[in-house]
A and B are shown apart, each in its own frame.
Chain A
Amino acid sequence: MPIIKTEDLTYIYSQGTPFEKAAVDHVNLEIEAGEFVGVIGHTGSGKSTLIQHLNGLLEPTSGKVYIDGQDLWADKSKIRQFRFRVGLVFQYPEYQLFEDTVAKDIAFGPRNMGLSEAEIQDRVRMAAQFVDLPEEILEKSPFELSGGQKRRVAIAGVIAMDPEVLILDEPTAGLDPRGRDRILGQLKEYHRHRGNTVLLVSHSMEDVAKYATKVLVMNRSHLFLYDETHRVFKHAEELSRMGLAVPQLSRVFTALAEQGFAVNPNTYTMQYALNEIEDLLEGRGYHA
């Protein structure tokens, strides 16, 4: 059974006014548990609206959302339970910090779940470990931390709910390369360790190519593609027409392939690129 399933999911903004617009239009989607999914699409493509349906922050205008086979909106009064099962980290999540210590802020989610004090403390420590926050920081005020640290505290606040699905909306926006690699590395480790489902919304094709096993592409409120990463990047031309940048390396390899070299034009990670060149030099060219 897929962990996330949508049936003709449609969401219409400002219904009944002249500004009426379908932000998500008849989306049918099935995501299996344990995937690391990259979610891409230009601004306004509907990807933010889509992810806010998966934890019940938005109610579909029509259509259904199922988490692990359960209809999200079957009983409105139980909707909060789904927010604990599907953790959503918003863009610039550090702007949601409010408690006077890091530990208390991370504990906000678990406390809302109604867990016991001991369990809350366990969850806080577990989450802090995943994002690499040292023990001594936990008693500090979140507002004294650096930008990258604040971001990690906010992510820990969602991880602490131990959700079955973790969704992150551009978790590395505005960070320097070191901060970016650090967070993505921690996420990968978290995914590997917990084995749960992760959805990463990103503008960086490089990051998606590097981490995601599957890619979901939204375009003009519709689901354009949901498939394995290498298959999605085969649609390089269509993706660039949507205003999505293809990874730099794939442009290099497309150019080489066009010149007649036996390389896979669909090459986007560094390791694969190196193998391609070495294979070629050793006389083992790529044959499509």
Chain B
Amino acid sequence: MEQIISAQQVTFCYQNDEGESHEVLHLLDLDIPKGQMVAVLGHNGSGKSTLAKHFNAILLPSGGTVYVDGIDTKDPQRLFDIRQTVGMVFQNPDNQIVATIVEEDVAFALENMGVDPAEIRRRVDEALQEVGMYEYRMHAPHQLSGGQKQRVAIAGIVAMRPKCIVLDEPTAMLDPRGRSEVMRTIRKLNEQFGITSVLITHYMDEAARCDRVVVMDDGKILMDGVPREVFSQVERLKSVGLDVPAATELIYHLRQKGYQLRQDVIFEDECAEELARFLKEQNVDADH
């Protein structure tokens, strides 16, 4: 399968104020194929945000190479091609909205790229419709809720028609309603428009619904697989300061007690299903 992002033996060091060198990423390899929805997990300081900033040439590797759609991110001639290919959404929606009117903000990237005005208009309207914010196009950003602002920020990226969106904890500052709005939007963009998504998150239930979960620790990739595979390793995840979905944890504790349950349960409905199957097998009646 074609890779949209390919990190090869990537190392990243930075100098702190005292001149000491810190290694944040260590000989890291990661390939992300087109169309995938990938979650990246890891505690604060595990290097996941640093890695994300390598995906659109905000940071350049100290060692190794990152290819974005086949382009080496170190090639200064192709910088803007890279940024158009991989868009980036950040945690704080307030700090990424530039203009005082929603539609003007969504147009910002296209104006920078020198797109023809009629084409900008068309793409802005499309992007706003895709994230469900078209009715709010004439609003001022400070009149919107957190989830709405974040969707405007996503529209501003979508308008560039990127092949991939990297989202660095896009739901961390939102309430449950805002979170589900944003997650629905990201999933829709992935499913309907085939946009590759790299989602950095602390929420395990969000990760559980991705195609793939990558777990980082100490600048390296610790685990990489489909959510079921990754989340079934409860102890390993807990040892690096991460959680598992409550459904997974319940099954895990029951298995610890010796009960024969499937170990790769990650959703509530399948947890209930698996428990029901098991209880019936143990001749517990469901006659209430």
Task: Give chain A's interface residues, CB within 8 Å of chain B.
Answer: 42-43, 146-148, 173-179, 203, 206, 243-245, 247-249, 251-253, 255-257, 259-262, 270, 273-274, 277-278, 280-281, 285
Known: A177-B243, A261-B286, A281-B282. A274 touches B253 (CB 8 A): yes
Task: Please name the residue on chain B nearest to A262 by beta carbon.
Answer: B288
The reply to whether A203 and B254 form a contact with Cβ atoms under 8 Å apart is no
Known: A248-B247, A257-B288. A203 touches B279 (CB 8 A): no
Known: A43-B145, A173-B173, A177-B241. A274 touches B250 (CB 8 A): yes
* Distance (whole angstroms) from the CB of A211 to the closest CB of chain B: 15
B253 contacts across to A, CB distance below 8 A: 270, 274
A260 contacts across to B, CB distance below 8 A: 285-288
Task: Please name the residue on chain B nearest to A206 by beta carbon.
Answer: B246
Task: Please name the residue on chain A nearest to B248 by beta carbon.
Answer: A248
B172 contacts across to A, CB distance below 8 A: 173-174
Known: A174-B173, A260-B288, A261-B288. A248 touches B44 (CB 8 A): no
Give the tally of cross-chain contacts (CB within 8 A).
103
Task: Please name the residue on chain A nearest to B237 by beta carbon.
Answer: A177
Task: Please name the residue on chain B nearest to A258 by beta carbon.
Answer: B272
CA–CA, A274 and B246, complex, Å: 12
Known: A43-B145, A256-B272. A178 touches B241 (CB 8 A): yes
Does B114 reach chain A (CB closer than 8 Å)? Answer: no
The reply to whether B177 and A42 form a contact with Cβ atoms under 8 Å apart is yes
Known: A179-B44, A243-B176, A280-B284. A252 touches B247 (CB 8 A): yes
CA–CA, A270 and B268, complex, Å: 14
B287 contacts across to A, CB distance below 8 A: 260
CA–CA, A206 and B246, complex, Å: 9
The reply to whether B202 and A177 form a contact with Cβ atoms under 8 Å apart is yes
Task: Give chain B's interface residues, CB within 8 Å of chain A.
Answer: 43-45, 91, 145-146, 169, 172-173, 175-178, 202, 204-205, 241-243, 245-247, 249-250, 253-254, 257, 259, 268-269, 271-272, 275-276, 279, 282, 284-288
B205 contacts across to A, CB distance below 8 A: 248
The reply to whether B44 and A203 form a contact with Cβ atoms under 8 Å apart is no
The reply to whether B272 and A255 form a contact with Cβ atoms under 8 Å apart is yes
The reply to whether B176 and A277 form a contact with Cβ atoms under 8 Å apart is no
A273 contacts across to B, CB distance below 8 A: 250
Q: What 19 additional pairs, Cβ within 8 angstroms, besides A176-B44, A177-B202, A270-B246?
A: A43-B177, A146-B44, A147-B44, A174-B173, A176-B43, A178-B241, A179-B43, A203-B176, A244-B176, A245-B176, A247-B246, A251-B268, A252-B247, A252-B268, A252-B275, A255-B269, A260-B287, A280-B284, A281-B284
* Distance (whole angstroms) from the CB of B176 to the closest CB of chain A: 5
Q: Which of A43, A178, A249, A256 contacts B276 (CB 8 A)?
A: A256
Task: Please name the residue on chain A nearest to B42 by beta carbon.
Answer: A176
CA–CA, A260 and B288, complex, Å: 4
Task: Please name the residue on chain A nearest to B284 by beta carbon.
Answer: A280
A262 contacts across to B, CB distance below 8 A: 288
* Distance (whole angstroms) from the CB of A284 to the closest CB of chain B: 11
CA–CA, A253 and B257, complex, Å: 19
Known: A42-B177, A43-B145, A203-B176. A277 touches B245 (CB 8 A): no
B169 contacts across to A, CB distance below 8 A: 174
Contacts A/B (CB < 8 Å), 26 sampled: A42-B175, A42-B176, A43-B145, A43-B178, A146-B45, A176-B44, A176-B241, A176-B242, A177-B241, A178-B43, A178-B241, A179-B44, A203-B175, A243-B177, A248-B246, A248-B247, A252-B268, A259-B272, A260-B286, A260-B287, A261-B286, A270-B250, A274-B254, A277-B254, A277-B275, A285-B284
The reply to whether A259 and B276 form a contact with Cβ atoms under 8 Å apart is yes
Q: Which 4 residue pairs are nearest across A and B when measured between Cβ atoms?
A: A178-B241, A255-B272, A260-B286, A248-B246
A270 contacts across to B, CB distance below 8 A: 246, 249-250, 253
CA–CA, A277 and B91, complex, Å: 40
A177 contacts across to B, CB distance below 8 A: 43, 202, 204, 241-243
CA–CA, A57 and B284, complex, Å: 56
B254 contacts across to A, CB distance below 8 A: 274, 277
* Distance (whole angstroms) from the CB of B236 to the closest CB of chain A: 14
B43 contacts across to A, CB distance below 8 A: 176-179
Most chain A CB inside 10 Å of its own CB: which residue of B204, B284, B285, B287: B284
* Distance (whole angstroms) from the CB of A212 to the closest CB of chain B: 17
Q: Which of A43, A147, A249, A281 contacts B246 (CB 8 A)?
A: A249
B246 contacts across to A, CB distance below 8 A: 206, 247-249, 252, 270
CA–CA, A281 and B247, complex, Å: 19
The reply to whether A261 and B276 form a contact with Cβ atoms under 8 Å apart is yes
Task: Please name the residue on chain B nearest to A255 by beta carbon.
Answer: B272
Q: Which of B257, B271, B279 contacts A252 (CB 8 A)?
A: B271
* Distance (whole angstroms) from the CB of B117 to the closest CB of chain A: 36
CA–CA, A280 and B100, complex, Å: 59
CA–CA, A215 and B146, complex, Å: 25
A206 contacts across to B, CB distance below 8 A: 246
A148 contacts across to B, CB distance below 8 A: 44
